[in-house]
């Protein structure tokens, strides 16, 4: 063999030897590390699935849980299964809702038993459900204050892993024919592509988690603020500031039903000018007539509520604000630039539910407060309120160095009238007297029913002469 051939052959033999050794070494190394990497990724996917499960508004709804499993399965390319602490399967990305309901209990599955004990467990076994050997990674966490545990299981067919290893073997074998250098370049190039894809998917998932966290944080803040509001107007101010942040690019309005139940008045609106009337009748809103949310454009139909302007072509959504079985108003929303996405609709529904509960609580507090300070027969303030108000007015009068008057009224011969004509007639007399007080007193005066046929009137910022005039005018009106 010539020196030239030796110069070519010796490096070539060395290269072939190195390629062959590298081929078998890389094959075993890849097989082991690919399995470990897939197992780690499945563990992360299962852990992330539990966090996503916590965001569900209805954690007992099989359809909603199965839909979440489907979404996570598509995103992670793994089979996602949710199991409760009793082993009942709640959702599976590879099964329909009906199949999930019929599936056997999973409490005895080794990966489930291990996850319930240690928090994370792995197993390789045959699945009788989809007839395949699978790699299972299960994660279990407590999801609420009642120590309720949910297990999320991510799995992948072992045949997919074997196919991946086989594919890599073919690539390495082919690369060995064109040299170790090309193999290294292809490996680096493939690694960069995979890394970019992983980083891209990771970025997408992180953005989704950040968006969900931001929304949950804002909604928690809004709920806390609304629960501390003392009036509907104060709650409206809070909602008006939070909505543009919570629902960007979405305009909306909230209408409240009057106590007479015959009209709704718009309490607040945000975003661009709201293209609807400020007051409308209950039968002019399809959401109120149907008792649940109404989307104006859906399923190739466009049915707009009558309270919206005629020239509106965009999709709108109306959601009744219902609390404790009673409708207190309607939540309206729309995107002026495009139709609402399914995620927008779900978020709007969640926001409407929270606002409805908060407004109902405020109305209930107002109602209870009115009952506590008002006399039910006359509608005047009661003795308790009068004593509290009197202290405040006396303090204010002393600070401002102003006059005030306190008048005590007693209805003459009321007991004899009551005994002669009955209590109902006496109630009519007291009601008429209170009505005359309301019509003949100033707005700033405070008439109260002191007890029985006795009344008390507190008049701030009044001279003695004017107080006498008010008393004479009132007596004349009552006579």
Please provide the DSSP assignment of 246-272 as one string.
Answer: HSTT-EEEEEEE-TTSS-EEEEEEESS
**Length of the chain as a residue count:** 479
Question: What's the pLDDT tens digit per position in 394-451?
Answer: 888 888 888 888 888 888 877 888 878 887 888 888 888 888 888 888 888 888 988 8
The whole-angstrom separation of Cα 100 and Cα 76 is 20
pLDDT above 90 (res 11): no
Confidence of residue 186 (pLDDT cuts 50, 70, 90): low
pLDDT above 70 (res 266): yes
pLDDT above 70 (res 31): no
Confidence of residue 384 (pLDDT cuts 50, 70, 90): confident
pLDDT above 80 (res 187): no
Q: What is the pLDDT of residue 98?
A: 87
* More reliable by pLDDT, 193 or 210: 210
Question: What's the pLDDT tens digit per position in 57-73?
Answer: 777 788 888 888 888 88
The whole-angstrom separation of Cα 112 and Cα 82 is 11
Confidence of residue 3 (pLDDT cuts 50, 70, 90): very low
3-178 folds as Beta-Lactamase (3.30.450)
Question: If you average pLDDT over every residue of the chain, what do you get?
Answer: 83
Confidence of residue 179 (pLDDT cuts 50, 70, 90): low
17-22 long-range contacts (CB < 8 A, ≥24 apart) are 18/180, 19/176, 19/179, 19/180, 19/183, 20/176, 22/180, 22/183
What string of DSSP letters covers 23-57? HHHHHHHHHHHHHHHHHHHHHHHHHHHHHHHHT-S
pLDDT above 90 (res 320): yes
* More reliable by pLDDT, 145 or 232: 232
pLDDT above 70 (res 286): yes
Q: What is the pLDDT of residue 288?
A: 92
Q: Do 383-478 and 227-370 have the same topology in CATH? A: no
pLDDT above 50 (res 280): yes
Confidence of residue 362 (pLDDT cuts 50, 70, 90): confident
Q: What is the pLDDT of residue 94?
A: 86
User: Do residues 50 and 152 make contact, with C-beta atoms less than 8 angstroms apart?
Assistant: yes
Q: Tokens 């196919």 appear where?
A: 163
159-164 long-range contacts (CB < 8 A, ≥24 apart) are 159/132, 159/133, 161/34, 161/35, 161/38, 161/135, 164/34
| 3-state secondary structure (DSSP) of residue 302 | strand
Q: What is the pLDDT of residue 185?
A: 58
What is the percent of the chain where pLDDT is above 70?
Answer: 89
Question: Please, what CATH class does the domain formed by 383-478 belong to?
Answer: alpha beta
pLDDT above 90 (res 318): yes
pLDDT above 80 (res 112): yes
Q: What is the pLDDT of residue 2?
A: 45
Residue boundaries of the structural domains of the chain: 3-178, 227-370, 383-478
- Which are the contacts of 351, defined by CB distance < 8 A and separation ≥ 6? 219, 222, 243, 246, 247, 331
Least confident among 119-128, 172-181, 215-224, 381-390 = 172-181
227-370 folds as Beta-Lactamase (3.30.450)
What is the percent of the chain where pLDDT is above 90?
Answer: 13
* More reliable by pLDDT, 123 or 26: 123
Average pLDDT value for residue range 85-112: 87
Q: How many CB atoms lie within 10 A of CB 352?
A: 24
8-state DSSP, 308: B
| Residue 23 burial (C-beta neighbours within 10 Å; 0-12, 13-18, 19+) | middle
Q: Tokens 């603020």 appear where?
A: 225
Average pLDDT value for residue range 307-314: 84
Least confident among 22-26, 113-117, 224-228, 384-388 = 22-26
Q: What is the pLDDT of residue 4?
A: 43
């Amino acid at each position: 063999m010539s020196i030239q051939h030796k110069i070519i052959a010796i490096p070539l033999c060395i290269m072939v030897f190195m390629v062959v050794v590298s081929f078998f070494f890389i094959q075993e190394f890849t097989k082991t590390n690919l399995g470990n990497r897939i197992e780690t990724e499945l563990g992360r996917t299962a852990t992330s699935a539990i966090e996503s499960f916590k965001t569900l508004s209805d954690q007992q709804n099989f359809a909603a849980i199965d839909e979440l499993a489907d979404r996570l399965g598509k995103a992670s390319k793994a089979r996602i299964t949710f199991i409760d602490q009793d082993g009942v399967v709640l959702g599976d990305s590879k099964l329909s809702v009906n199949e999930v309901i019929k599936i056997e209990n999973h409490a005895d599955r080794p990966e489930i038993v291990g996850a319930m004990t240690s928090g994370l467990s792995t197993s390789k076994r045959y699945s009788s459900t989809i007839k395949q050997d699978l790699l299972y990674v299960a994660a279990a966490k407590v999801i609420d204050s009642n120590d309720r545990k949910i297990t999320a299981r991510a799995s992948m067919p072992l045949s997919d892993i074997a196919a991946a290893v086989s594919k890599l073997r073919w690539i390495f074998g082919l690369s060995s024919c064109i040299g170790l250098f090309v193999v290294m370049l292809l490996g680096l190039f493939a690694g960069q592509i995979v890394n970019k894809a992983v980083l891209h998917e990771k970025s997408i998932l992180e953005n989704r988690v950040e968006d969900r966290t931001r929304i949950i944080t804002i909604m928690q803040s809004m709920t806390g603020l609304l629960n501390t509001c003392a009036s509907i107007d104060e709650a409206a101010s809070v909602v008006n500031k939070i909505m543009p942040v919570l629902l960007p690019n979405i305009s909306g309005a909230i209408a409240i039903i009057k106590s007479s139940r015959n009209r709704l008045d718009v309490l607040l609106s945000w975003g661009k000018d709201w293209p609807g009337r400020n007051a409308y009748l209950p039968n002019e809103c399809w959401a109120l007539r149907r008792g649940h949310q109404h989307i104006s454009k859906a399923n190739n139909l466009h049915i707009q509520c009558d309270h919206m302007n005629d020239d509106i072509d965009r999709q709108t959504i109306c959601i009744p604000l219902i609390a404790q079985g009673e409708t207190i108003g309607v939540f309206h929303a729309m995107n002026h630039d495009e139709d609402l996405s399914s995620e927008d609709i779900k978020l709007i529904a969640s926001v409407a539910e929270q606002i409805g509960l908060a407004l109902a609580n405020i109305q209930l507090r107002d109602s209870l407060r009115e009952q506590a300070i008002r006399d039910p027969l006359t509608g005047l303030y009661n003795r308790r309120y009068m004593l509290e108000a009197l202290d405040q007015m006396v303090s204010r009068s002393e600070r401002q160095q102003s006059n005030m008057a306190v008048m005590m009224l007693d209805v003459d011969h009321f007991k004899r009238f009551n005994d002669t004509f009955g209590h109902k007639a006496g109630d009519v007399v007291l009601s008429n007297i209170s009505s005359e007080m309301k019509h003949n007193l100033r707005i700033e005066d405070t008439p109260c029913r002191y007890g029985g046929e006795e009344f008390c009137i507190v008049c701030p910022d009044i001279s003695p002469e004017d107080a006498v005039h008010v008393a004479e005018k009132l007596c004349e009106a009552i006579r």
